[in-house]
Amino acid sequence: MSTLKIAVQKSGRLNEDSIKLLKNCGIRIENGKDQLKASAANFPLDVLYLRNGDIPQYVEDGVADIAIVGENLLVETGNDVEVVRKLGFSKCKLSLAVPKDTNYPGPEFFEGKKIATSYPNTVKQYMEKVGVKTEVHVIKGSVEIAPNIGLAEGICDLVSSGSTLFKNGLVEKDIILQSEAVLVKNKNLTAEQEELLETILFRLDAVQKGEKSKYVLMNAPNDKVDEIIKVLPGMKSPTVVPLAEEGWSSVHTVMEESKFWEVIDQLKGAGAEGLLIVPIEKMVL
């Protein structure tokens, strides 16, 4: 039987979320400390723990069949791999930042100046796009320190909360790339490997739909049930269950959390009472 090899970050912000995602998909991985390879106990999957920057090349070369990486890394490396699914976690921005008291009119500020970054290819592509000629200084460590020591007039780095920029007296200016974790694959998987990947994607869909949705229960007078059902944006027809108290029913449905907040006032106005919102672990349609 064929086995699928997935590469994940050995350590860092993507590691825990990647392993958690596999666990939520029902894949049990039992690995020891500092182990570089582990096999799933209940699915034909081997997990390779690799240095983040090496992962796209390993997937392109076929050493790993699939991988979880950040979009920003794919843009930077330019490796020939296929993005299968956006995963919705590890969201961040690749942004230009300058010292807080700098008069910054736009990217043209960097004309003839230096930018410190760990993403030279992405920065060069962006600057070419906006028609600005700049000098890119590559740093593989704490990029934020560069303006303070006179190494560059500004930086381009990943930004999540912005706290690191603030601590170093920098201000975020232009976002050049929005990024999140993605699932990628080698373009030459066998038919068996593609089938295994489809199984993972099926499970992943169930997990992601569950995360975005909520199970909603509410009580309603029987003469208000039809009006309430018209308001509900949930899946198919809701379930209506008679309550012990005569003249009342319980209405059950599933809806996206964002839509619930859009209609809650309408539901209450239509006569719904005692609304209860319950998390959904997984949802299979």
Please report, for the domain that includes residue 258, its CATH number.
Answer: 3.30.70.120
Determine contact, residues 68/87, Cβ cutoff 8 Å.
yes
Verify that 36 and 102 share a domain, yes or no. no
Q: Which residue segment(s) compose the domain that 111 sits in?
A: 92-179
259 shares a domain with 121: no
Do both 9 and 69 map to the same domain?
yes
Q: How far does Cα 251 stand from its chain's mean position?
A: 33
Angle formed at CA 272 by CA 269 and CA 274, multiple of 5 degrees? 130
CA distance 23 to 238: 30
Are both 131 and 71 inside the same structural domain?
Answer: no
From CA 97, how far away is CA 162, in angstroms rounded?
10
Q: Is residue 18 part of a domain?
A: yes
* Residue in the block written with tokens 């825990």: 16
Which amino acid type is present at position 184?
V
CB-based contact 218:276 (threshold 8 Å)? yes
Same domain, 72 and 11: yes
pLDDT at 83: 96
Based on DSSP, count helices (H) and strands (E) in the chain, helices before strands: 8, 15
- Residue 203 inside a domain? The answer is no
CATH number at residue 171: 3.40.190.10
Three-state SS for 226? Answer: helix
pLDDT at 32: 58
Q: Give the CA distances from residue 207 to residues 113, 117, 210, 284, in Å, rounded to whole numbers and listed in that order.
A: 47, 36, 5, 9
- Domain co-membership, 158 together with 270: no
Q: Is residue 185 located within the same domain as residue 55?
A: yes
Query: For position 27, what pLDDT does the model report?
Result: 94
**Tens digit of pLDDT per residue, the chain (285 long)?**
689 999 999 988 789 899 999 999 999 987 755 788 999 999 999 999 999 999 999 999 999 999 999 999 999 999 999 999 999 999 999 999 999 999 999 999 999 999 999 999 999 999 999 999 999 999 988 899 999 999 999 999 999 888 889 999 999 999 999 999 999 999 999 999 999 999 999 999 999 888 888 899 999 999 999 999 988 876 567 899 999 999 999 999 998 888 888 888 889 989 999 999 898 888 877
DSSP of 158-171, one letter per residue? EESSSHHHHHTTEE
Residue-level pLDDT at 259? 84
d(CA 204, CA 11): 22
Whether residue 230 is contained in a domain is answered as yes
The structural domain count of the chain equals 3
Residues 82 and 100 grouped into a single domain: no
Same domain, 65 and 185: yes
Kindly write down the DSSP assignment for every residue of 37-86, as one continuous string. EEEBSSSSEEEEEE-GGGHHHHHHHTSSSEEEEEHHHHHHH----EEEEE
Residue 92 to residue 138: CA distance in whole angstroms: 20
Position 285 in a domain: no
Q: What element of type H or E holds 145? A: none
Same domain, 18 and 152: no
Q: Are residues 171 and 33 in the same domain?
A: no
